[in-house]
Amino acid sequence: MIPLAIPDLSGNESNYLQECIQTTFVSSVGPFVTRFEDMVASASGCLYSVATSAGTTGLHVALTALGVSKNDLVILPAFTFIGSANSISHCGAEPWLMDINLSSLTLNPEQLETSLKKETVKSNKGLIHIPSGKRVAAVMPVHVLGIPADMDPIIQISKKFDLPVIADGAAALGAYYKGKSIGAVGSDLTVFSFNGNKTVTAGGGGAVSGNDEGLLNLVRHLTTTARIGSDYDHDRVGFNYRLTNIQAAVGCAQLERLEKFVTSKRRIQRVYNENLLNIKGISAIPEPKYGQSASWFSGIIVDTSQLGSLKEIREKLRKLNIDARPFWKPINKQLPYANVSKEDLSNTEKIWDKLLMLPCSTNLTEDDQNTVIKAVQEVLR
């Protein structure tokens, strides 16, 4: 079976892990944590970065640091992984779901502005969502699949309504927007994930990046149980959200090869496009002209009305020893979020069940990719 996405651990991972064991720095304090944070900050184009135990916990602490709390609303595209929505719920808030542009699969700035103009009013309690009476506390664009959202208009609109922006960049490290690294495009905070199937992995973990030193210090404080001083005093409810030195050691070894890995990911997507887009009913995962995708997952968009359901296609590919996966179900189709505030989600509904993810490990060989291509051609022609 050619797997969907497995890590390439052929660099310094073993050496760094052995160093952790020899020094006994295996928990949330150690030199690799500091190095990892510096490397993430540099790669994201930010001045500061705080390592966290997961991407979702990173989003949770970022939202908390920016004041999101119980009964608030956070604007979120429905076309994303449930972890984005869960991080909002962990604050006691709810997502206000919005649609995407089909040209980027990311938050639609036009709908964002129209909805804020028509459905909110400013008061002494903040920006109030008229239908629900809840405070709108933040905007969370998602750089889905590593594709950069159109951040300039999103930032401009958010500033007009005095809303902070927390970007979910879980899969976007190595992406660029208008020539800038994805963390340097105006969001207050950007959050990354280092899960096992990400372009670079720490076996898990996340990071919160940004340029406001005070804000990042608050994030760090919250991730370390809000402890003050060397004694066990705590000044607020905090979280135990720190990354371990062992995980950071793996992450450092991976980050040393970030550019190589992203180049490999982009090449894999390009080769799929060159060989599969001539099949009737197949189109490309978009890459907007304003940015460069990190191409976390490679794949194709399938016209299921012509070629059959993704389930049928996946079953046929599995029989040919090819691991292919669908995209996540959007947030509006998830049971915990069935009744949250939402705008028209026509584009999300149109596209979500047509994305087919194909094998795209950073060390995928040319022979294996050719095997995948031939299998897809056999199944779809």
Residues ≥6 apart with Cβ < 8 Å to 353: 304, 310, 326, 327
b/e burial code for range 96-107 (CB count within 10 A of at least 16 → b): bbbbbbeebbbb
b/e burial code for range 334-366 (CB count within 10 A of at least 16 → b): eeebeebbbbebebbeebbbbbbbbbbbbebee
* Cα distance between residue 203 and residue 200, in whole Å: 9
* Cα distance between residue 381 and residue 230, in whole Å: 66
Known active-site residue 117: no
CA dist 186 → 290, 359, 381 (Å) = 15, 33, 45
CA dist 171 → 49, 256, 265, 367 (Å) = 16, 17, 12, 26
- Which candidate in 134, 198, 265, 354 is catalytic? 198
* Cα distance between residue 104 and residue 91, in whole Å: 29
**Which residues carry out catalysis?**
198
